[in-house]
Amino acid sequence: MAIFSFLSPFYLAVLCVLIVIILQNMKKSEGKKEKGETKTESRPWVDEDLQDSTELLAEEDGTSPSGAHTEPWTFVVVEDPEVKHKIREIIEEEEEINYRKRMGDKWVNDLKRLKTNWVKEYLDTAPYLILIFKQVYGIISNTKKRTHYYNEISVSIACGILLAAIQNAGLVTVTTTPLNCGPRLRLLLERPVNEKLLMLLPVGYASKSATVPDLKRKQLEDIMVVV
Ligand SMILES: Cc1cc2nc3c(=O)[nH]c(=O)nc-3n(C[C@H](O)[C@H](O)[C@H](O)COP(=O)(O)O)c2cc1C
C-alpha cells in the first residue's frame, strides 16, 4: 500500500471501489462469453436448456393445418433416460428382425449407402425423443367416436413443420419411422387405442463428430412442372 501513500484516504477509498467495479464487470463479461460459446459450439446430445425449446416447437407445431380442423396429433416428448432406454430396447429388437427378415434384400441393399442398421445409440444419447402419434379417430365418449379426416396427411404436415422448426431452432434430428414398433411403443407410453405411431424424432445438438451423407438433390426442373 506504500505506493498509494500519496493519496488521501478519501481518494484511496474511491480507487478501491473503482477496482471492485472493474473486477465485477470482468467476471460478468467472462460469464457471458462462456454462455455465448456454448451456444455456437456444436455439442453432444446433452443439454438441459432444451425444455423451453421442445415446448416452443410443440406450440409451433400446433399451428399445423388439419382436415376439418380435427388436430389429430399427439406429441410425446420423452426425456426420462429409463423410458428412452426402454424405447431403444423395443426398437432395436424389432429393427433387427426388420433388417434380417422383414425388409428383404432389396430394401436392405438400398439403405447400405446410408449406413443404417438396427443399433440405435441415439435413442439413449439424444436429450429428447419426440414420438408423434396420429389419432386415427377422436374419442368423444365411451360410445362415440369423432371422424378424423385425412389424419395421416394432417399429422405428416405437422411433422414437416416440426422438422423445419427443429432446424430453425439450431437443433438437429433424423426422421425415423420405426417399423413394427408402434403397438409396443404405444403401450409403453400409455397412449390410447385410437393413437398410432407415425414418426419418432430424436432431438438435440449435433455432436462435433457428426457427419451427414453427401447426397445430391434433384434439380428444380426435375421436380417442378409449370403448365
Ligand atoms: C418418411 C421417412 C422415413 C424415414 N425413416 C427412417 C428410419 O426409420 N430410420 C432411419 O434411420 N432413417 C429414416 N429416414 C431418414 C432417411 O433415411 C434420411 O432422410 C436420408 O438419409 C437422407 O435423405 P434425404 O435428405 O433425402 O431425406 C426416414 C426419412 C423419411 C423422409
Is the CB of residue 176 below 6 angstroms from any atom belonging to ligand 1?
yes
pTM over 0.85, yes/no: no
C-alpha cell at 66: 388439419
User: What is the tally of helices (H) and strands (E) in the chain?
Assistant: 8, 5
Is the CB of residue 56 below 6 angstroms from any atom belonging to ligand 1?
no
Ligand 1 centre to CA of 14 (Å) is 65
C-alpha cell at 174: 433424423
Ligand 1 centre to CA of 199 (Å) is 11
Superfamily of domain 44-208: NADH Oxidase (3.40.109.10)
Closest atom of ligand 1 relative to the 200 alpha carbon: 8
d(C-alpha 54, C-alpha 52), whole Å? 6
Q: 43 CB contacts (<8 Å, ≥6 apart)?
A: 205, 206, 207, 208
Closest atom of ligand 1 relative to the 116 alpha carbon: 11
Beta bridge partners of 133: 74, 197
d(C-alpha 165, C-alpha 117), whole Å? 27
CB atoms within 10 A of CB 199: 20
Residue nearest atom 27 of ligand 1, based on CA coordinates = 175
Residue nearest atom 21 of ligand 1, based on CA coordinates = 114
- Closest listed residue to residue 148, CA positions, set 136, 156, 159: 136
Kindly give the residue spans of alpha helices, DSSP state H, lying in 72-219: 81-97, 104-111, 122-125, 151-168, 182-188
Query: In tens digits, what is the pLDDT along the chain, a chain of 227 residues?
Result: 444 444 455 454 544 444 444 444 434 444 443 443 333 333 345 455 566 666 767 777 778 999 999 999 999 999 999 999 999 999 999 999 999 999 999 999 999 988 889 999 999 999 999 999 999 999 999 999 999 999 999 999 999 999 999 999 899 999 999 999 999 999 999 999 999 999 999 999 988 888 888 889 999 999 999 99
